[in-house]
Amino acid sequence: MWRKPAFLITPLLMVAAPAASQNLTPPSHIDALVAAFTGKAIGQPGGARQAVDPRLRLTACDQGATAEWYGSQEQSVKVSCPVPGGWRVFVPVMGSERSQPVISRGDLVQVRVSGAGFSMSTRAEALQTGAVGATISVRPSYGDVRKSLSAKVLEAGVVGIDVP
C-alpha cells in the first residue's frame, strides 16, 4: 500500500489552518438567506438553481447579509455584506412564471395608475421587455412622446404605477 509522504500533507494543513481559524460566513447561510428571500428551496422553480459552492470563503458579516433581486428579469439574487469592503455573491435562480417575460419591447400596454381614493388607466408603449414584478420603462401615447415613465409589470399587457 502506497503512503503519501508527511512533508506533502503538512504544508496543506498549514495553509488550511488559518482559513479555518478565521470568522467566516458559511455558504449554507447564504443558501438559507436565498431560500427565505425567494420562498423556494434550492432546485425548485423560483429558488436557487444549486447550492452555493461550499469552498467559498467569505468574511463574517457583522451587520448581517442582505438579499435583493438582481437584474431586470430577476434571474439572480444578490446577497451582500453591506459594510465597507464587504462582499457580494450573485446566486442564479431557476426560471418560474415570475421570471418569464410577459411584456415585450414595443407592446401596447395598459397603464393602471392608482393612489389613495382614485384609480385610472391609459395606454402606453413598452420600451423594455419585462416579467411579472419587474420595473420597465413605458412611453405614454399622449403628451410629450420623448418622456418615459417607470412602471411595474402586473400581468401580461398590464403595468402599474402607485401614487402615494
HEC string for 51-119 = CCCCCCCEECCCCCCEEEEECCCCCEEEEECCCCCCCEEEEEECCCCCCCEEECCCCEEEEEEEECCEE
- The whole-number pLDDT of residue 18 equals 46
163 vs 56: CA distance, rounded Å: 43
Domain shared by 57 and 130, yes or no: no
In a domain, 143, yes or no: yes
In a domain, 84, yes or no: yes
Q: What percent of the chain has pLDDT over 90?
A: 48
In a domain, 34, yes or no: yes
Residue that terminates a domain, selected from 92, 120, 144: 92
- The whole-number pLDDT of residue 132 equals 82
- The whole-number pLDDT of residue 145 equals 67
C-alpha cell at 83: 459594510
Domain that residue 22 falls in: 6-92
In a domain, 1, yes or no: no
- The whole-number pLDDT of residue 15 equals 42
In a domain, 44, yes or no: yes
Question: Do the bridges between strand 108-115 and strand 158-162 make them parallel or antiparallel, or are there none, so unpaired?
Answer: parallel
Give the number of domains in the chain: 2
pTM greater than the 0.75 cutoff? no
Domain shared by 73 and 111, yes or no: no
Q: Are 141 and 106 in contact (CB under 8 A)?
A: no
- The whole-number pLDDT of residue 134 equals 84
Domain shared by 25 and 58, yes or no: yes
Residue ranges of the chain with per-residue pLDDT less than 70: 1-22, 72-73, 96-99, 143-145
Cell 409589470 belongs to which residue? 153
